[in-house]
Structure 1
Amino acid sequence: MSLRFWEKIELSVLAAGVVIAGGLWGFIEMAEVARQTSAHGLDTEILLAFREPGRPDDPLGPPWLEEAVRDITGLGSMVVLVMVTAAAIFYLLLVRRGREALMVLIAVGGGQVLSSLLKLGIDRPRPELVSHLVHVQTLSFPSGHAMMSAVTYLTLGVMIAGITPGRITKAYVLFIAVLITLMVGVSRIYLGVHWPSDVLAGWCAGFAWAMLCWLVARRFMRRPTGSTPRSDG
């Protein structure tokens, strides 16, 4: 292996560490906001910015936009994420990538458990400042849609990028994974079912968890030194 190759690998590990540290810090900060008895001023301003002035029951944009946002938020629903995860795992098993399949299962399954525990840790009700445009039942903090979208799509994005040739292609795959995650999170604010700090906390926790799982998987899935088969010629 060339020195340049190892420097590139170490840079990716450093970047993952920065994401984990930043995610933990961001989540802690948002948790402090969520514990406040009254709504944070910025939370309120952003939530109202998605509604017509003076009409908290009327979201911005034409009726078709509201339907489109509902479709986008569905990309972070439990049903869709389970289907995407199951399809990815079965595909990996079919091509005999059992370790990668196990990585996806642990990352997404563990992320769901973590999301549920975090919701129980901070008993924050849903915002009542604006009307809810979709039905919700669980607690507000953190946003499960935002967190699990980050966990699922980033985990799959990093895995696909790892086996995709070319920097531009790798960057494109990661860009799409991040874009879907951001769109799902913003949709939760537009629909009035989460405070912005809920969504930001979900993103922070989701990105941090996905990167932590990637670091662990990278450690255990790396080939032992000297295990690469050599040609007899």
Structure 2
Amino acid sequence: MEKLPPLIPSARTVRKWLRAGWREIRILTAVMLLTGGLWTFAELADEVMEGETHRFDRFVLLALRNQADLSDPLGPAWFEAMARDITSLGGVVILLMVSAAAVGFLFLVRRPAAALLVVVSVGGGTLLSTLLKMGFERARPDLVPHATEVFTASFPSGHAMLSAVVYLTLGVLLARTQSRRRVKAYLLTIALLLTGMVGASRVYLGVHWPTDVVAGWCIGSAWAILCWLVARWLQYRGRMEPEAFLQERNGVGQGR
């Protein structure tokens, strides 16, 4: 006589269903964030090209300056120096050094596919940033003196975009090697804080319009999410090391 399946699933089966459902929710959330980032960038770019954001951009830049001397950002001298230090974390040289260090580490621990993901993410993000700047050719703010040197076009902010690409990608990679949720949350929070502070420093120093930075955050985050989704797809096809990205696929590392 054929054995019938149990009417009440076992605890192991329930946990497996919950893990599968949670994975689908995360993928759906990532797709929604990706779509939202691209849509926001497209809408913002359209408004910028039509000059609809100029009043808002002027208001924010002037609000961050001493009205008696527009060359002087608000706050003490040490705060302005700190802003310059923070903004350098989004510079091309620093980001390339951080990325190269991460790639070297991933090769040392025998994670070549993860290393390749970092290379493609950073290289592709840099190329995309350059093409977007060439396409829009928005002039830098001339409303206030710049507090640091600039050499490229303004829209979108390359510092905001590339810091999102690099720090979010590395944050996700590191988080996926950890088993505790609070450690994962800590790593992702650090990545978000670095991205946010770099972008904010560009506006404070007067080298970008606020909308440049918001656009950079949107397109940079969207690019990082896209790379993450591609990595998951390759992983499920067996072309990427699963333990480097998705320990929880086998039930390892459920949060504490």
Structure-1-length-normalised TM-score? 0.93
Give 1:41 shift: 1.0
Structure 1 letter corresponding to 2:175: A
2:35 corresponds to? 21
Instruction: Say which SS state the counterpart of residue 174 (structure 2) adopts.
Output: helix
Percent identity, aligned pairs only, is 53
Structure 2 letter corresponding to 1:88: A
Give 1:215 shift: 0.1
1:163-188 CA distance string (max 9 Å, x none): 11111111110000000000000000
Compare 18-27 and 126-135 and name the one that shifted more.
18-27
2:96 aligned residue (74, 79, 82): 82
Compare 12-21 and 200-209 and name the one that shifted more.
12-21
Is the 1:30–1:198 contact (alpha carbons within 8 Å) kept by the matching residues of 2?
A: no
Question: Which blocks of at least 5 consecutive residues in structure 1 are unaligned?
Answer: 229-233
Q: Does 1:42 align with 2:75?
A: no
2:72 corresponds to? 58
Number of equivalent positions: 226
Give 1:33 shift: 2.8
Is the 1:99–1:221 contact (alpha carbons within 8 Å) kept by the matching residues of 2?
A: no
Structure 1 distance, partners of 2:53, 2:221, is: 25
Give 1:22 shift: 1.2
Is the 2:53–2:211 contact (alpha carbons within 8 Å) kept by the matching residues of 1?
A: no
1:214 corresponds to? 228
Structure 1 distance, partners of 2:26, 2:194, is: 22
Give 1:54 shift: 4.0
1:81-111 CA distance string (max 9 Å, x none): 0000000000000000001000111011100
Structure 2 letter corresponding to 1:53: Q
Instruction: Say which SS state the counterpart of residue 155 (structure 2) adopts.
Output: coil
1:92 corresponds to? 106
Is the 1:33–1:197 contact (alpha carbons within 8 Å) kept by the matching residues of 2?
A: no
Give 1:8 shift: 1.1
Structure 2 distance, partners of 1:223, 1:21, is: 24
Structure 2 distance, partners of 1:156, 1:38, is: 35
1:105 corresponds to? 119
Is the 2:178–2:184 contact (alpha carbons within 8 Å) kept by the matching residues of 1?
A: yes
Q: Does 1:163 align with 2:177?
A: yes
Compare 41-50 and 140-149 and name the one that shifted more.
41-50
Structure-2-length-normalised TM-score? 0.85
Is the 2:57–2:209 contact (alpha carbons within 8 Å) kept by the matching residues of 1?
A: yes
Structure 2 distance, partners of 1:37, 1:222, is: 45
Higher relative contact order (CA 8 A, sep 6+): 1
2:219 corresponds to? 205
Structure 1 distance, partners of 2:137, 2:121, is: 25
1:118-158 CA distance string (max 9 Å, x none): 00110100000011000101000000000000000000001
Compare 133-142 and 20-29 and name the one that shifted more.
20-29
1:25-46 CA distance string (max 9 Å, x none): 1111221232135761111111
Structure 2 letter corresponding to 1:202: G
